[in-house]
Amino acid sequence: MRIPVVLGATLVLTACSTLGGQGQAAAPKTVEVTLVAGKSTANSSFNFNGYANGKMTLTIPKGWTVVVHYENASALRHSFDVIPYNATQPQTPPPPVFKGAATADHVSGIGVGHSETISFVADRPGKYEFLCGVLGHAQAGMWDFLVVSPTAGVPAISPSAAASLKVR
């Protein structure tokens, strides 16, 4: 009688380990980041967390949910929009490349002291940019990179001091 019980338990453990780890805690798939428009006077305040002109890169593993806590510390209105990377900044921002990857009014922006939280799934690998869609702001350098990687295991930001990432 003891052999069938041991054999049964072995089969259950083997099935759990070969079926994608079912029965184990799921790996984190959400990252939160706070981005502040006009956080410093760098680039005449046309910046995200003090970075502009592609000097900051946020790398996200493909399939992860990205939660952006967006704040405006500048006297000017600013917005957030994720679009395909193009070496030339658009005069008017296209719709976001991922559903939900823009502030509610990515053309007119939000006022000083206001904030907005957005969420999107980074489901297509590639090199993108996040920019301010207010007329002239991206052209003034208010844009940085978002890379969706099929090989990255965890989110990363470069330079590392640009923002804190909270993985959950």
pTM of the model: 0.84
Residues contacting 8, CB < 8 A, separation 6+:
none
CA–CA gap between residue 7 and residue 124 (Å, rounded): 43
The pLDDT profile of the chain, 168 residues, written as one tens digit per residue, is 444 443 343 333 333 344 444 556 667 799 999 999 999 999 999 999 999 999 999 999 999 999 999 999 999 999 999 999 999 999 888 999 999 999 999 999 999 999 999 999 999 999 999 999 999 999 999 999 999 999 999 999 999 999 999 999
Strand partners, 117: 69
Domains of the chain with CATH codes: 25-167 (2.60.40.420)
Is residue 68 within 8 Å of 80, Cβ to Cβ?
A: yes
The DSSP output letter for 26 is P
Contact between 66 and 167 under an 8 Å Cβ cutoff? The reply is: no
